[in-house]
Amino acid sequence: MLETENTLLLVIDIQGNLYLSMNNREALLLNLTRMIQGAGIFGLPVIVTEQTPDKLGPTIPEIAGLFESFDPVAKSAFSCCSDGGFMKRLDSLGRKQVLLTGIESHICVYQTALDLLRRGYEVQVVEDCVSSRTPENRRIGIEKTIAAGALRSSVEMALFELVRVGEGDRFRRMVRLVK
């Protein structure tokens, strides 16, 4: 079960031309927006990465604009865990549950999940917040990630798991977000 004091959100490579080539990108953007805003309701730290931003461009404004202070981790390795800056930021948070979102599910999301699992993290793939250029690669990426030990989740599932009770301010704010 997700615990607010032990969970973080990881948003991988929602950038310029890469984002524009994603299958079903409008739904991806809607769900990522809800997930990021939901993380804000629960006070979860969020790490955003950018794959070679000098070549692929920055995080799209629709995502970057959701943060008061936006400081993405630039990387060149497909796995976020292969980047020293990412690992330093991750380790500084002291959290062991990772809600995993981003693109592409069969490359950076998959390789990051495997490395996180090897390091003892609980990884939950937020399936409605991951994509690839083709539906087949998205599906294969998710299947291999789950087979490796990650758990399946969705925006609503994760947010209801974090809130736990059907009352209070956080519950009301979260329900407005997902409805």
Q: Which two tokens stand for residue 83?
A: 């980047």
Give the distance from CA 165 to its chain's centroid.
24
Q: What are phi and psi of 86, to 5 degrees?
A: -65, -50
- Please state, in angstroms and rounded to a whole number, the distance separating the CA atoms of residues 154 and 27: 13
Partnered with residue 83 across adjacent β-strands are none
Contacts for 91 with CB less than 8 Å, ≥ 6 apart? none
Give the distance from CA 109 to its chain's centroid.
9
The pairing of beta strand 7-12 with beta strand 122-131: unpaired
- Please state, in angstroms and rounded to a whole number, the distance separating the CA atoms of residues 120 and 122: 7
Q: Which of 108, 115, 128, 129 is catalytic?
A: 108
Query: Would you put residue 149 in left (φ > 0), alpha (ψ -120 to 50) or beta?
Result: left
Residue 169 falls in the annotated catalytic set: no
- Please state, in angstroms and rounded to a whole number, the distance separating the CA atoms of residues 4 and 98: 11
Residue 13 falls in the annotated catalytic set: yes
Residue 108 falls in the annotated catalytic set: yes
Which residues are known to be catalytic? 13, 75, 108
